[in-house]
């Protein structure tokens, strides 16, 4: 006979759409870790724009999901139980994990994570700080290293980089990571964040609501070798005159026009490129960004923290789209 599991508090929704109003506080059984999984008592979860995209149903063709669904992907917590075959972790370990987009689970007191996408949390780093990392720091890392060709040990030729929406989750990590390489960083953000983004290391910062910001023009007239595009919108015709001859736009928010641009570039053999990026997380990159935080080379800036009982406020803040750094739910 199966033992009944203890109950936990969680926030879930039962259908696509509905925004904040569809979030429901429930008491449900604590999940059971299967083979290769670990059960975590959560300490912190960070929210991401993709959590909203999943709720809207926009990703339905790629990730089927069952309802009710507990949202949120980026979590930090303590291991309380391990499934069969788990070798890397034991009860009592503090960790940070990347849940799958189709299973979610982060807005709950307990969650199961795959051993393969979990990294130990260094004791000198708080749960809230590591919880900010998974989706956005890995996206910033892969964009800069794999796509823009920046070596984070500072070697390699100097490159001019533009980072749009540099005050947001991806952008604030991207500026710091870019400055570990041999780069000159130009960044865009709102007027209230100009000094903040400068403090992260950007040499030139442009208010996105000015004519220069709308044109993405570097104040010193530099052309960009790579653009890490975290803001939304901007046609190719805005990027094109700002790029060097082999310049590349790494587009994290591709819309329908990205396909057209790509087709045109193929037809015209353009050396300037637009690349749409969708993160495929790799454990070695995850370990690397956690190590950078431990060494004090990368920091998480926290916009705001909420208890699980006020998850709706955190969700509304995310929907608002004006966070500076990361929005965290703490347990
Ligand atoms: N493709 C992928 O694999 C991938 C992975 C991660 C994220 N993403 C996408 O990347 C985007 C950024 O994610 P995020 O987590 O960084 O978002 P976020 O934290 O919600 O970004 C909010 C920040 O963006 C700033 N911002 C908004 N519009 C701007 C503009 N036109 N120019 C400059 N700054 C602007 C806001 O500044 P103000 O408050 O001053 O307006 C705010 O500080 C999202 O669309 C997300 O879905 C894609």
Reported as a single tens digit per residue, the pLDDT across 134-193 is 999 999 999 999 999 999 999 999 999 999 999 999 999 999 999 999 999 999 999 999
- As beta bridge partners, residue 81 has 39
Ligand 1, closest atom to CA 53? Answer: 47
**Is the separation of the CB atoms in 95 and 116 below 8 Å?**
no
Tell whether 40 is covered by a domain.
Answer: yes
User: Can you give the residue range of the structural domain that contains 42?
Assistant: 7-132+300-330
* CA dist., res. 162 & res. 185, Å (int): 6
* CA dist., res. 176 & res. 149, Å (int): 16
> Is the domain of 109 the same as that of 155?
no
Cα angle value 238/242/248 (rounded, 5°): 95
Residue 61 CB partners (closer than 8 Å, separation 6+): none
Which residues line ligand 1 at a C-beta cut-off of 6 Å?
48-50, 135-136, 139, 164-165, 167-171, 188-190, 193, 208, 230-232, 252-253, 277-279, 321-324
Cα angle value 314/9/47 (rounded, 5°): 25
- Check pLDDT > 90 for residue 205: yes
User: Is 0.95 surpassed by the pTM of this model?
Assistant: yes
DSSP 282: -
> Is the domain of 172 the same as that of 79?
no
Q: What is the mean pLDDT of residues 237-251?
A: 96
**Which carries the bigger pLDDT value, residue 105 or residue 264?**
105
> Is the domain of 144 the same as that of 171?
yes
* CA dist., res. 228 & res. 173, Å (int): 11
How many whole angstroms from 310 Cα to the centroid of ligand 1?
A: 23
Tell whether 247 is covered by a domain.
Answer: yes
Tell whether 186 is covered by a domain.
Answer: yes
How many whole angstroms from 136 Cα to the centroid of ligand 1?
A: 10
With bands split at pLDDT 50, 70 and 90, how would you rate the model's confidence at 2?
A: low
Burial of 34 (0-12, 13-18, 19+ CB in 10 A): exposed
Number of domains the chain is built from: 2
- The radius of gyration computed from the CA coordinates of the chain, to the nearest angstrom, equals 20
> Is the domain of 260 the same as that of 213?
yes
Which residue, by CA, sits nearest to atom 25 of ligand 1? 165
**Is the separation of the CB atoms in 99 and 75 below 8 Å?**
yes
- Check pLDDT > 60 for residue 62: yes
């Amino acid at each position: 006979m199966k033992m009944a599991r203890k109950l936990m508090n969680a926030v879930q929704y039962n259908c696509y759409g509905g925004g904040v109003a569809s979030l429901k506080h429930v008491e449900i059984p604590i999940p059971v870790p299967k083979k290769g999984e670990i059960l975590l008592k959560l300490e912190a979860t960070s929210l991401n724009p993709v959590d909203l995209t999943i709720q809207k149903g926009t990703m339905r063709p790629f990730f089927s999901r069952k309802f009710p669904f507990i949202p949120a992907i980026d979590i930090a917590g303590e291991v309380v139980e391990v499934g069969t075959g788990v070798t890397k972790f034991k009860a009592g370990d503090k960790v940070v994990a990347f849940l799958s987009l189709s299973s979610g689970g982060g807005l709950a007191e307990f969650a199961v994570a795959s051993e393969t996408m979990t990294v130990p949390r260094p004791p000198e780093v708080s749960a809230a700080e590591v919880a900010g990392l998974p989706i956005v720091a890995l996206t910033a890392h892969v964009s800069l290293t794999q796509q823009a060709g920046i070596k984070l040990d500072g070697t390699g030729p100097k490159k001019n980089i533009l980072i749009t929406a540099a005050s947001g989750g991806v952008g604030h990590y991207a500026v710091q990571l870019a400055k570990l390489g041999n780069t000159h960083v130009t960044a865009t953000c709102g007027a209230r964040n100009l000094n903040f983004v400068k403090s992260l290391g950007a040499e030139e910062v442009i208010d996105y609501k000015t004519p220069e910001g709308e044109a993405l023009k570097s104040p010193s007239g530099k052309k960009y070798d790579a653009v890490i595009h975290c803001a939304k919108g901007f046609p190719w015709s805005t990027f094109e005159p700002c790029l060097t001859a082999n310049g590349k736009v790494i587009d994290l928010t591709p819309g329908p026009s990205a396909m057209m641009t790509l087709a045109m570039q193929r037809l015209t053999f353009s050396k300037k490129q637009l690349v749409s990026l969708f993160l495929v997380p790799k454990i070695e990159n995850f370990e690397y960004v956690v190590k950078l935080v431990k060494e004090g080379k990368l920091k998480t800036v926290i916009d705001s923290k909420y208890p699980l009982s006020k998850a709706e406020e955190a969700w509304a803040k995310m929907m608002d789209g004006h966070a500076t750094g990361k929005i965290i739910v703490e347990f």
